[in-house]
Amino acid sequence: QLTMSLNSPTLLNEENAQGAKRNTECLESLLQTPPSFQDNPLQQLQLASQEVLEKAKKSGRSKCPRCNSSRMFYCYTCFVPVETVPTKEIPTVKLPLKIDIIKHPNETDGKSTAVHAKLLAPDDVTIYKYPCIPEYEEKRHEIALIFPGPNSVSVKDIAFHLQKYTKKGVCASDDDCSTEPLLKQAKIEPEEETNPNEGISNSRSEGTRLKKIIFIDSTWNQTNKIITDERLQGLLQIELKTRKTCFWRHQKGKPDTYLSTIEAIYYFLVDYHQEILKESYKGQYDNLLFFFSFMYTLIKDAKCCAGKE
């Protein structure tokens, strides 16, 4: 959805009400059945124990501790686990930079994987519902947008291109503008200064001046409204390597290289870790797929039960 390598986590016209009900009934019939990890392409991930999700699956839907809505595993509107999933048993992932997710207003909350990122990396992820998004202009020398296009660059080229953005500064259109304001704006904000992972970046390369990455949570057909917003213009755009999605809500007629939002975040961080931080990847961000991998197996089995693969 988002790129030839990025995909929407949501399908606007994915299933009718009857089909959704049939899938729900099928899923409930599997609640007492241990998930089969055979043929699971995500099984090599280094994940925290998913026993807490197994227990929650058996006990069924539970209340959200904030809004009291009935949910399975977590509340997708409050971004918190349900009562049967203790927060202390959910892994927390520390990210090397901040992530903003801009969600299209027509995206169905319950179908989006963006909430997974907020649940598992609560200190580093913020979700905005378009058009209520931040102004990025003054920070564009340390922010990048994950989106394909003619001017998009690969993760490994962030260093070179971000350096150019830094030199241009936030007032590139003003010939009389000195570099002094840029130096002031480039300082880490107080809340970011306490993040040791961001601090490491500055001593390594220009690419590690990247402080924030933006993802769009939307179907491919809905992205135009967001990507053309003036607040996102002038940002460095990054396109991910081609990878195949495991998302169960794959858009018909779209390539399997269209990733869900949580997959796009995960793969970007793996690339960033290896190509910018120059460190070997040892599963540091695998738990971002903690819910995704569990639900993948659950829904794969449910589809088999419903007679569709």
Confirm whether 264 is domain-assigned: yes
Judge if 284 and 142 occupy the same domain: yes
The answer, yes or no, to whether residue 305 has pLDDT greater than 80, is: no
| pLDDT bucket at 189, cuts 50 / 70 / 90 | very low
Judge if 265 and 220 occupy the same domain: yes
Higher pLDDT, 135 or 303: 135
Q: Do 305 and 26 contact (CB within 8 A), yes or no?
A: yes
pLDDT of residue 207: 53
pLDDT of residue 44: 85
Judge if 217 and 75 occupy the same domain: no
Confirm whether 98 is domain-assigned: yes
Judge if 127 and 233 occupy the same domain: yes
Q: Do 194 and 164 contact (CB within 8 A), yes or no?
A: no
Share of the chain above pLDDT 90, in %: 50
Of 82, 102, 133, which closes a domain? 82
Judge if 249 and 100 occupy the same domain: yes
Query: Poorest-confidence range of 183-187, 228-232, 270-274?
Result: 183-187
Indicate the number of domains in the chain: 2
Confirm whether 173 is domain-assigned: no
| 70 strand-pairing partners | 63
Judge if 213 and 280 occupy the same domain: yes
Query: Poorest-confidence range of 106-120, 226-240, 243-257?
Result: 243-257
Confirm whether 252 is domain-assigned: yes
The answer, yes or no, to whether residue 244 has pLDDT greater than 60, is: yes
Judge if 61 and 107 occupy the same domain: no
* Domain hosting residue 67, numbered range: 46-82
Judge if 60 and 110 occupy the same domain: no
| pLDDT bucket at 262, cuts 50 / 70 / 90 | very high
**Per-residue model confidence as pLDDT tens digits over 35-94:** 443 445 677 899 999 999 999 999 999 999 999 999 999 999 999 999 999 999 999 999
Which tokens go with 289?
Answer: 């797929």
Query: Poorest-confidence range of 86-95, 231-240, 277-286, 295-304?
Result: 295-304
Confirm whether 170 is domain-assigned: no
Judge if 76 and 95 occupy the same domain: no
Judge if 251 and 294 occupy the same domain: yes
Judge if 74 and 96 occupy the same domain: no
Q: What is the C-alpha separation between 102 and 218, in angstroms, rounded?
A: 8
Computed over every residue of the chain, the mean pLDDT equals 77
Confirm whether 245 is domain-assigned: yes
CATH code, domain with 117: 3.40.1280
Confirm whether 167 is domain-assigned: no
pLDDT of residue 194: 42
User: Strands, E, within 44-123: which ranges?
Assistant: 62-63, 70-71, 74-75, 80-81, 98-103
Judge if 252 and 297 occupy the same domain: yes
Of 54, 82, 110, which closes a domain? 82
Confirm whether 169 is domain-assigned: no
Of 59, 82, 105, which closes a domain? 82
The residue-averaged pLDDT of 134-161 equals 91
| pLDDT bucket at 125, cuts 50 / 70 / 90 | very high
pLDDT of residue 231: 95
Pairing of strands 74-75, 80-81: antiparallel
pTM: 0.74
**Per-residue model confidence as pLDDT tens digits over 278-290:** 999 999 999 999 9
